Amino acid sequence: MTSAVCTLFEGDYHLGVGALANSLHRFGFSGIMHVGYRGKLPDWMVSRESGIDGLVRVSEGLMMRLHLLETDWHLTNYKPIFMKSVFRADSAIEALFYFDPDIVIKCEWPYYEQWVESGLALVEEIATRGMPYNHPIRRQWVAFAQQLNMEIRPTFSQYFNGGFVGLLRKCEHVLDDWATIIAHLAKQGMDLKGFMPYARPHPFCNMDQEALNIVAMAAEKHLSTMGPEGMDFIPGGFTMSHAVGSPKPWRKNFLLSALRGQKLSMADRLFWENVESPIQLFPSTVIRQKRAMMLLAAAIGRFYHQ
């Protein structure tokens, strides 16, 4: 199978992109990682750029292709459009995987390709803790979808995280539906420039994710899903770790967090396990200091936590 990976970033999220790339290399991904970005490139990308088609060499088998984006939308709302552009740019791609730039993978790459052969690959969110098929907000989504002539009759109660999507080219129509929903929200005057500009009970407080969940209802029979353990939101996962919330692992003061009763997360640990090779994202002294602080934070956390 010819697979590609894609992600989006701006600002210091380039550090998450680097850690994701290192984890892909570590677990055997070979191919092109398409990176859409806005703003200035970090020094480590510039120093590795070949000057040919925006290619950045990560390792012998892994290259990044950089795509400068011209949009004023928050990049999270640009996901389906970017994924569609990656499929269009390379007709050889059979499977495409989107990862947010605060995710690292933690299992051998062939598993991902096996997963996506089973259907549209998604992971259940933990914050919402499920959403019954007859939930009033889900009913609002169904009514919204009917405006776009999408016939939906949900029977499941999962609510999915928008940080990861895997699909085969033959399921590319899912991206068309996802992009259409977001474009329709823009036409209705909703703010696509901010991240979560609305709060519940607004039915689209997290627009790209809500749109993805509408698509999931329409594509229910084609789904292949994991529970929240799939992103290490709860114990027992083996596929990936998603550093949701704030501060991100590269910004976090682990000792201060521990003293506040906040336990060290698996996503924190795995980010700092993926910052050295083949891309070194921080000086060696910084990496050693951070790892020492995590050990101390873990010790504090055994005795003092929220």
Instruction: Classify domain 3-231 at the CATH superfamily level.
Output: Spore Coat Polysaccharide Biosynthesis Protein SpsA; Chain A (3.90.550.10)
What pLDDT does 113 receive? 98
pTM listed for this prediction: 0.96
| Residue 73: predicted pLDDT | 94
Q: How many CB atoms lie within 10 A of CB 263?
A: 15
Residue 235 CB burial class (10 angstroms; 0-12, 13-18, ≥19): exposed
| Span(s) in the chain for CATH 3.90.550.10 | 3-231
Q: What is the pLDDT of residue 148?
A: 94
pLDDT tens for 232-273 read 999 999 999 999 999 999 999 999 999 888 889 999 999 999
How many beta carbons lie within 10 A of that of residue 133, not counting itself?
Answer: 15
pLDDT of residue 306: 53
Per-residue model confidence as pLDDT tens for the chain (306 residues): 899 999 999 999 999 999 999 999 999 999 999 999 999 999 999 999 887 778 999 999 999 999 999 999 999 999 999 999 999 999 999 999 999 999 999 999 999 999 999 999 999 999 887 899 999 999 999 999 999 999 898 899 999 999 999 999 999 999 999 999 999 999 999 888 888 778 889 999 989 999 999 999 999 999 999 999 999 999 999 999 999 999 999 999 999 999 888 889 999 999 999 999 999 999 999 999 999 999 999 988 887 765
